[in-house]
Amino acid sequence: MKASSARIVEVFSSLQGEGLRLGERQIFVRFGGCNLRCDYCDEPHTIAAAAGVLWPIRKLETRVRSLAAERPHRAVSWTGGEPLVHVDFLRRMMPWVKGLGLRNYLETNGVLPGALKDVAALCDVIAMDVKLPSATGREHWSAHLDFLRAAPEKTFVKVVLTADSKDVEWRQVIRLMQEADPRIPLVLQPATRVLGVRGKSRGIEPIEPRRAVQLLRQARGLLKDVRLIPQWHPIWGLP
Ligand code: SF4
């Protein structure tokens, strides 16, 4: 795909509903296409390579400028799908966003460290998921470690927890964070109940609250900044 356009599913203004920037007003640019298939995916319509429609750079600039003129925003949230699948497009758009006086907030699955290195200097906040093998069917520890080392001062990590998340995986998350940089903030996010995307016949069950608190306590003694923050946009009724 040429970097002068990218497949985009939607562009809209809303409040950030997850992680450390909860409640911040942002312009969301949701890309089509993802390289993973997480069981708990809450945007399954975005993950096919053909999801969305091609937006030229000029069209996106016009839309973002128009939303920014309507009310104050803190950042453009590059989300998806997986935004780093479109890294050439991001490399062209991110400087323009900074010129508009907005920050670049990257929401990513954290498994494409090579692509991150191309845009890390342009990102202000990197909201990176750690993907558990029980959710994706594959291990990503090595890619996650490279990813965390690219720009640790801008990164916070989110782990979505379901009833299927395993204690051994949690211990591996803590080891990963200790090896990368124990000062990187870690957010535990109980999964929102959704239908699975890898052919599971049942819906995804969130982690039991008492167990989530146990995992939080385990990590607190070993890492600097660990928090338990649910997804808020379903509660607020926002996209
Ligand atoms: S990485 Fe994100 S968009 Fe891709 S399948 Fe997983 S949850 Fe969905």
Domain ranges in the chain?
5-236
Q: CB–CB of 194/204 below 8 Å?
A: yes
| Atom 6 of ligand 1: nearest residue by CA position | 38
Which residues partner with 25 through β-bridges? 15
Sheet-wide strand order for 226-228: 53-56, 5-15, 25-31, 75-79, 103-108, 125-129, 155-161, 186-190, 226-228
Pocket-testing residue among 37, 39, 79, ligand 1, by greatest number of atoms within 8 A of Cβ = 37
pLDDT the model gives residue 73: 98
CA of 140 to the centre of ligand 1 (A): 14
**Per-residue DSSP letter, 4:** T
Pocket-testing residue among 9, 28, 34, 128, ligand 1, by greatest number of atoms within 8 A of Cβ = 34
Q: Is the confidence at residue 62, as pLDDT, over 90?
A: yes
Model confidence pLDDT, tens digit, residues 70-115: 999 999 999 999 999 999 999 999 999 999 999 999 999 999 999 9
Whole-prediction pTM? 0.94
Q: Is the confidence at residue 33, as pLDDT, over 60?
A: yes
Ligand 1 pocket, residue 160 CB under 6 Å: no
The class that CATH gives domain 5-236 is: alpha beta
Ligand 1 pocket, residue 82 CB under 6 Å: yes
Model confidence pLDDT, tens digit, residues 120-163: 999 999 999 999 999 999 999 999 999 999 999 999 999 999 99
Ligand 1 pocket, residue 38 CB under 6 Å: yes
| Atom 3 of ligand 1: nearest residue by CA position | 81
pLDDT the model gives residue 197: 55
Model confidence pLDDT, tens digit, residues 184-235: 999 999 987 654 555 554 568 889 999 999 999 999 989 999 999 998 887 8
What is the SS3 assignment for 29?
A: strand
Q: CB–CB of 108/82 below 8 Å?
A: yes
If you compute the radius of gyration of the chain from its CA atoms, what whole number of angstroms results?
17
- Measured CA to CA, the distance from residue 101 to residue 34 in angstroms comes to 29
What is the SS3 assignment for 13?
A: strand
- Measured CA to CA, the distance from residue 101 to residue 173 in angstroms comes to 35
What is the SS3 assignment for 201?
A: coil
Q: CB–CB of 67/73 below 8 Å?
A: yes
